[in-house]
Structure 1
Amino acid sequence: MTTTTAVVTGDRTRPRARGGMTRRRPVDWLLLALVVVGGVLVLVPFYLVLVNSFKSPVDYALSGPLALPSELDFTGISKFWERVNFPEKVWNSILISGVVSLLAVLISVLNAFAIGIGRVRGRTWIVLLFLMANLLPQEALLYPLYYMFKSVGLYDNVWSVIIVFTVIQAAFGTYLLSSVYGTFPKEVLEAASIDGASRWQILWRVVFPISRPTLSVLLIFFFIWTWNEFLIPLTFLASNANQTVPVAISVLQGDRLMDVTTTSASALLGIIPTLIFFLIFQRTLTRGITAGAIK
C-alpha cells in the first residue's frame, strides 16, 4: 500500500507520494499533453523532409509523403549536390555568417562599453536609435543599398552582405549589451581603476571575461540568424558562385526539372550545417543562458 503525505501550500494541502515527489494534478497532465502535442507538430516537418529526401520520385508517387521509403535512394541528394555545387554554397554561408558574427559581437562590445559604462551623453536616445535601426524592414534598405554598393564596386560581392548584416546584428547587440553593461558593478570598475588599469584594460581584462557567456550566446545567434537570411543575399549576390545555401535552395526550387524528393534533399542539406553548429556549441549556449539567468 502506497503511503502519501501532505504538502502545505498557503491554505491548501497537496498530497505527496512516498519518496518526496509531489503528486501531479490534472492541470499538470494537461500541460504535459499540450507540450507533447506541440513537440510533435514541430517535428512533423523535419520528419517529412528526412523521409522524402531518401525516396525516388516513383516511390514518392506510389507511397505518398508520409510513408517510409521502400529503399534508400540518394538520387535527390546527389542531384541537388551537383546542380548547385553545394560545398561552394556552404563555404559562402560559413564565411559570411562567421565574419558577421565576430565583427558584430566586437562592435557591440565597444559600443555598449561606451554607452553602458562610459556613460556618454544622450545615452537613452542613442540606445533608442540603435533599437529603431534594428526595427527597420529589410525591404526599405534594398533600394539605397543597391545603388551604394553599385557605386563603390561591391555589388555581387560577399562583403556587401557582410557589411549590411554586421551593422544590423551590431545594432541589436549594442541595444542588448548596453542594458547589461549599464548594471555592471561599479565597485569592480572602481577597484580596477584604482589599481591603475586604463579604459582598454578595464574592457578586455574585467568587463570582457565577466560578460563572456552573454557574448557567446550573441555569437551563436548572430551566426544562425545570418545563415538563415534570404532577401538581402538574394538581392546583392547575383552570380551563382557567391550565393548562400538558402538562396541556392530557393533558386533551384524554381527550376522546371525540380521534384519533391530533390526539394526535400535540398532542405535536409541546408539544415545539417546549422544543426552541426548548434550541437557543437550547445553547451556554450546553455552555459551562457544559465549565467545570464543567475545574478
Structure 2
Amino acid sequence: MRAAGPGRWAVLAALVVLAAVMVFPFLLVAVNAVKSPADYSSHGPLSLPAEIYLQGIVDFWNRVDFGEKLWNSFVISASVALLAVVLSVLNAYALGIGRVRGRLWILVLFLVGNTLPQEALAYPLYYLAKEVGLYDTRLSMVIVFTVIQAAFGTYLLSAVLGQFPKEILEAASMDGAGRFRALWQIVVPISRPTLSVLVIFFFIWTWNEFFLPLIFLISNETQTVPVALGVLQGEKYMDATMSSASALLGIVPAVAFFLIFQRTLTRGVTVGAVK
C-alpha cells in the first residue's frame, strides 16, 4: 500500500479546514440557541453555555406555531419534488427519446425559463393568482415551483435520455410495449438514480425558497419556514438567543432530510458519473 505523499496531505488538510469553516456557523447557532439571554449578555456569542436552556426554543415554537410552518413547507416541497420530477420525465421523454420537431428551441425555451429572475415573475404570477383565486394558498406555490423546477429537470433529463440505448426501446417495441409502458417500465427504472437526485434537489431548493412565498403566502396559516423566520427576525421581541433558536429550527429539517437521503444522492451522482 503506497504511503500518502505531501500533496495528498495538503489536500486533506485543506478539506478539513474547509469543513470546519462550513460547520462553524451551524455550531455557533446551535450553541447560542441553548444559551439563556443572561448567559449570552454576560459571556457573548462565542462562549459555551453555562447550562442547557431550551426555553428560547419552546417560546419561539409556540409563538409562531412552528409546527404549522413545518407542515406547510413539507407539503409544498414534497409536492413540488414529486410533481416536478414526473413532469420533467414526461417532457424529457418526448424531447430526448421522442425527438419532437423543434427540440433544440424547446430546450432553449426551458433553459431561458429556468434562468429568469423571480423578481421578473413576481407581478404576472401575483396577478394570475389573484384572478384565479389561488392567492395566499399552498397550491399556488406548488404550481409555480413545479413549473420552475420542471424547467431545469426537463433540460437535464433531455440530455440524459438523449443518450438512452435505442436497442432497449426497440426490443421493448418488438415485445409489444407501447410508449407509455416503455417509459414507466424501462426508462424510469433505469433512470431511477438520476430521478432520485432530482427529487432531493427539488425538495431542498423549494424548502429554501423565500422571495415568492413572501409575496404569495401572507397569512399566518399558509406561511412556510423561511418566510416565518424572515418576517420575525425584525421583530423587537426577538432576542439573540431566540433568533438563534429560530435559525436552528429552520436549518435542522433541511439538514436532516439531506442526511437521510445522502446515500441515495451519492449513489445517484456516482451512477451518473459512471454512465
1:219, 1:236 → 2: CA distance?
24
Select between 283-292 and 239-248 the one with higher mean Cα deviation: 283-292
- What's the C-alpha RMSD, in Å, of the aligned pairs? 1.0
Normalized per residue, the structure richer in helix is 2
> Hey, what does 1:24 align to over in structure 2?
5
CA 1:237–1:23: 2 relative to 1, 3 Å: closer
Distance 2:162 2:16 in 1: 40
Please give the alpha-carbon distance, in whole angstroms, between the structure 2 residues aligned to 1:53 and 1:286.
31
Report whether the alignment pairs 1:173 with 2:153.
Answer: yes
Question: By how many angstroms is 1:228 displaced?
Answer: 0.4
Shift of 1:31: 2.3
What amino acid is the match of 2:122?
Answer: L
Match of 1:15 in 2: none
Amino acid at match of 1:69: P
The 1-side partners of 2:84 and 2:164 are apart by: 21
Query: What's the offset of the Cα at 1:272?
Result: 1.6
- Higher mean C-alpha deviation, range 86-95 or range 266-275: 266-275
Tell me which amino acid in the other structure corresponds to 2:146.
T
Does 2:127 align with 1:157?
no
Say which SS state the counterpart of residue 221 (structure 2) adopts: helix
Percent identity reads 65
Of 136, 145, 151, the residue aligned with 2:125 is: 145
| Superimposed CA distance per residue, residues 22-43 of structure 1 (whole angstroms, 9 cap, x where no aligned partner) | 3412x33322222221111101
- How many Å separate the matches in 1 of 2:271 and 2:11? 28
Aligned to 1:53: 33
Q: What is the rounded CA distance, in whole Å, between the counterparts of 1:278 and 1:40 in structure 2?
A: 19
Structure 2 distance, partners of 1:150, 1:126, is: 29
Aligned residues: 275
User: How far apart, CA to CA, are the structure 1 residues paired with 2:4 and 2:202?
Assistant: 42
CA distance in 2, matches of 1:182, 1:35: 36
User: CA offsets per residue over residues 63-88 of structure 1, 9 Å max, x none?
Assistant: 11111100011121011101110110
Q: Which has the higher contact order (CA 8 A, sep 6+)?
A: 2
**Residue 292, structure 1, aligned to residue 264, structure 2:** no
Q: Distance in 2 between matches of 1:226 and 1:92?
A: 12
Picking from 216, 224, 230, the partner of 2:210 is 230
Q: Which ranges of structure 2 fall in alignment gaps of 5 or more residues?
A: none
Q: CA 1:142 to 1:70, structure 2 compared with 1: closer, same or farther past 3 Å?
A: same
User: What TM-score, normalized by structure 2, do the two folds share?
Assistant: 0.98
The letter for the 1-side match of 2:131 is S
Q: Residue 115 of structure 1 aligns with which residue?
A: 95
1:192 aligns with 2:172: yes
Q: Which residue of 2 aligns with 1:86?
A: 66
Write the mapping of 1:214-293 to structure 2, written as runs, cut at 5 A. Answer: 214-293=194-273
TM-score, normalization: structure 1?
A: 0.91
Match of residue 20 from structure 2: 40
Higher share of residues assigned strand: 1
What SS does the aligned partner of 2:95 have? helix
Larger Rg, first or second structure (1 or 2):
1
Gaps of 5+ in 1: 1-19
3-state SS of paired residue (2:236): coil
